[in-house]
Structure 1
Amino acid sequence: MINYYFDNTNELKPFTHQLDANNDTLPPDNALRIAPEFRDGYWPCEQNGAWILIEDNRNKTVYNIETKEAEKIDYLGKIRDGFTLLKPFEFCTWNGEKWILDEDAKNEHLIKNNQNLKNSLINEASEKIALLQDIIDLDMQETDEEQQLKQRKKYRILLTRVDASDINAVFPAKPE
């Protein structure tokens, strides 16, 4: 005979282990003499003197539908409300069943990146223009630095005209 033990301190009373039993004794309060059934994705738990199968998602990764944060499941039973096994992706939102692309968040991100790129390129152009202007003002120029200055100034003007709020903004090519 074998005693099949369960954790009676846990609400679901999950199977924990088995040990040989004496033929002339009764099983303890936390064991059954009936072998539990095992099936993928489920774990046997005691209920009213019988084994039932409870959904087992332990060690799976779930995602919070509000924060998108990942969590490992460490409990038996169905996945808790507010979580999903579906992995979120960039610029997504939960629609009640699955992750869908949040066009507004994506566009907002693109516009912010466009503005940052525009500012960065204008600053870079201004630094090069200032250096070239100093070279010319101090009459220290070498070949074609006056032409470079004109190209950089034209480039900076074209940059200021870029509409960074357009998600498909096109930036002018940098002068050589």
Structure 2
Amino acid sequence: MINYYFDNTNALKPYTHQLDANDDTLPPDNALRIAPEFKEGFHPCEKNGTWVLVEDHRDEIVFDIETKESVKIDYLGEIKEGFTSLEPFQFSKWNGKKWVLDEDDQNAFKVKQNKMLKNSLLNEANENISILQDAIDLDMSENGDEDKLNAWKKYRVLLNRIDVSNIAVIFPEKP
């Protein structure tokens, strides 16, 4: 285990060397002879000749409040500014205290999904119309092909009229 101490600037530093103390000598640099107090969630460190408990969040996962990226803590002390232990959710944004729903982000996602669905449905309609039209043009149509062609054309017109920016859009039923 690594022991830590505070230097003259009060910056937390790892205790990286070993000096043995005898009964008739002073303790090693930055070391105390009294046992430190231990408390869950804290790590004892020496400061000005006494033990202090420093927050210990090592190996905990925190989240960047700007990017939502997760980071594993590898330092002693308070969680750094700009990070939180609260996990973000889809379409969330940080309001200074907690994650809240970002409705603009959620709506933009729905609009994007609507565009993709509309394009997919238009491609399917175009394919069906093309095949039915070829059958009719080549006098290879079967009974009901003209009705099917008209139904797919009507469906394609209705699809083209859809405003995908309306997040509550209802797509027409396929023929």
Q: Does TM-score exceed 0.5, indicating one fold?
A: yes
Structure 1 unpaired stretches of 5+: none
Query: How far off its partner does 1:36 sit?
Result: 1.1
Note if 1:57 corresponds to 2:54: no
3-state DSSP class of the match of 1:31?
coil
Aligned to 2:151: 151
Moved over 3 A (4+): 5-11, 13-16, 20-26
Aligned to 1:99: 99
- What are the Cα deviations for residues 124-154 of structure 1, in whole angstroms up to 9, with x where unaligned? 2111111111111111223422222121111
3-state DSSP class of the match of 1:32?
coil
- How many residues align? The count is 170
Aligned to 2:139: 139
Note if 1:6 corresponds to 2:3: yes
- What are the Cα deviations for residues 37-59 of structure 1, in whole angstroms up to 9, with x where unaligned? 11111100001111100011111
Aligned to 2:75: 75
Query: How far off its partner does 1:12 sit?
Result: 2.4
The separation in 1 between residues aligned to 2:104 and 2:95, in whole angstroms, is: 15
Contact 1:7 1:15 in 2 (8 A): yes
Aligned to 2:47: 47
What TM-score does the superposition give when structure 1 sets the normalisation length?
0.86
Contact 2:5 2:45 in 1 (8 A): no
Contact 1:63 1:85 in 2 (8 A): yes
The separation in 2 between residues aligned to 1:154 and 1:143, in whole angstroms, is: 19
The separation in 2 between residues aligned to 1:143 and 1:103, in whole angstroms, is: 50
The separation in 1 between residues aligned to 2:92 and 2:125, in whole angstroms, is: 36
What TM-score does the superposition give when structure 2 sets the normalisation length?
0.86
Query: How far off its partner does 1:105 sit?
Result: 1.3
The separation in 2 between residues aligned to 1:43 and 1:9, in whole angstroms, is: 13
How high is the sequence identity, in percent, across the aligned residues?
Answer: 60
Letter in 2 for 1:147: D
3-state DSSP class of the match of 1:87?
coil
Structure 2 unpaired stretches of 5+: none
Aligned to 1:166: 166
3-state DSSP class of the match of 1:148?
helix
* Aligned 1:109-120 pairs, distance under 5 A: 109-120=109-120
Say what the alpha-carbon RMSD is for the aligned residues.
2.4
Query: How far off its partner does 1:8 sit?
Result: 5.0
Contact 1:63 1:71 in 2 (8 A): yes
Contact 1:93 1:100 in 2 (8 A): yes
- What are the Cα deviations for residues 69-125 of structure 1, in whole angstroms up to 9, with x where unaligned? 110110000011111111111111111111111111111111121122112211221
